Amino acid sequence: MSNVYATIDDIAVYGRKLTSQEQQAADSLIETACAKLRVIGKRYGVDVNTLVTSDEDYALTVKAIISKAVVRSLDCSADNAPPAVQASQAAMGYSV
């Protein structure tokens, strides 16, 4: 396992208390998000690990981005989340 840039505690800072099931999902999501960030960085010739360890502001920004992305993912994957629905109607030149 490579470096992770956020923890479950970081997610709690953003006001999201996690159940034990969500904590397990969040651990996996954090690892995945960090890996994706490293892959994108490599694509542009950026070593994210080096920047995180050498620049405190960069590290804080990455931590916030990863934490917020995990929170959004957990909120979207909740069983009680309503499905996204989009509809439109038109009749005689008028549309709703």
Q: Tens of pLDDT along 2-61?
A: 789 999 999 988 878 899 999 999 999 999 999 999 999 999 999 999 999 999 999 999
CA dist 2 → 48, 72, 79, 82, 87 (Å): 12, 23, 30, 35, 44
Question: Phi and psi for 91 in degrees, rounded to 5?
Answer: -155, 130
**Beta pairing partners, 91:** 94
Nearest to 5 by CA among 42, 30, 22: 30
| Torsion sign across C-alpha atoms 63, 64, 69, 71 | positive
**Residue 90, strand partner residues:** 95
Inform me whether the pLDDT recorded for 84 exceeds 70: no
More confidently predicted of 59 and 81: 59
Q: What is the dihedral of CA 64, 67, 69, 71, to 10 degrees?
A: -130
